[in-house]
Amino acid sequence: MRKFDTPIDFLTEIKVDDVEIVYNNTFEIGQGGPIVGYLSINGELIPNNYFGGPILLDNQYIYIPIYMKRFLSWRFKLARINLSSLKIDIVGKWESVIFLDRIENGMIFFYEDVGKIHSNQYKLSEFV
């Protein structure tokens, strides 16, 4: 949520209005790679999932990279978490990094690399 946050260095404790987001048991994916960890929202742990950062908040949702097991590897997808129900919706293709940028005009924009060279976007309506 800071302008200079990256998938490698971001805030692991965030408080915005009445929402508190905390990453627990964080670890680095490979040397110099993105950081992931378990996520708690307002003290409630979201079990069995690793999440990266940085995040974007929009109304009642948090948009966040989710780190998931794929056939023979682990990769990121884009997740949306409802702050009230903690329901997770996942969209998009597998990425080695998701570096969230902004939400604008019903779209979420992100980079597929830490150097901000390859950009991509999804319509918020793709989350079902």
pLDDT tens, position by position, 56-88: 999 899 999 999 988 888 899 999 999 999 999
Token duo for residue 60: 């009642």
Low-confidence ranges of the chain (pLDDT < 70): 1-2
How far apart CA 86 and CA 94 sit, in angstroms, is: 22
Answer whether 69's CB lies under 8 Å from 89's CB.
no
pTM for the predicted model, two decimal places: 0.92
Token duo for residue 24: 């627990």
What is the pLDDT, as a whole number, of residue 1? 58
What is the pLDDT, as a whole number, of residue 2? 67
Prior bond to 54 cis, omega within 30? yes
